[in-house]
Amino acid sequence: MKAERAHFFNFLKEKGLKLTQQRETILNAFLKTEKHVSVEDLYNIARRKDSTIGQATVFRTLKLLAEAEIASHVDIGDGIRRFEHRYNHKHHDHLICLKCHKVIEAVDESIEQRQEALCKKFSFQPVSHRLEIFGVCKKCSGKVKN
């Protein structure tokens, strides 16, 4: 969490941008949570530290964090853009429960390797990818009803 902060402060300086109280508050709030947060989620969290903070600033700061490669987008399939930690976090796929909306993070190296091979087959240069598996989690499938 220290490294991310230093990285962001440096990113701002290099871009000729300013380090503001709001940006620091929002960064801290983001780093403190391990969830996949929407702009609104993070807005509500950050507001607890500084009630005068605006949604627009959270929106813009999250965008900056993505540019700085501290955050990245996640699409859980509900049409709302969410963000997760990226700095020093490995790539992973998501298993998303359709009932309780829990998100399991997982990686399978051989899936990753096979994707590389698949791209090669089409002379396609991969830049990024996303794999989301929708289904029912252990807890929810154990329930009798619903």
Which of Mn ion, a second copy, DNA, none has residue 105 at its interface (CB below 5 to 8 Å by kind)?
Mn ion
Task: Please state, in angstroms and rounded to a whole number, the distance separating the CA atoms of residues 74 and 80.
Answer: 9
Task: Please state, in angstroms and rounded to a whole number, the distance separating the CA atoms of residues 30 and 71.
Answer: 9
- State the number of binding residues for a second copy (CB under 8 A): 34
At 61, list the tokens.
């700061």
Residue-level length of the chain: 146
Which residue lies nearer to DNA by CB, 79 or 142? 79
Task: Please state, in angstroms and rounded to a whole number, the distance separating the CA atoms of residues 63 and 71.
Answer: 8
If one asks whether residue 75 binds Mn ion (CB under 5 A), the answer comes out as no
Which of a second copy, Zn ion, DNA, none has residue 125 at its interface (CB below 5 to 8 Å by kind)?
a second copy
Could you list the residues that contact Mn ion (CB under 5 A)?
A: 84, 105
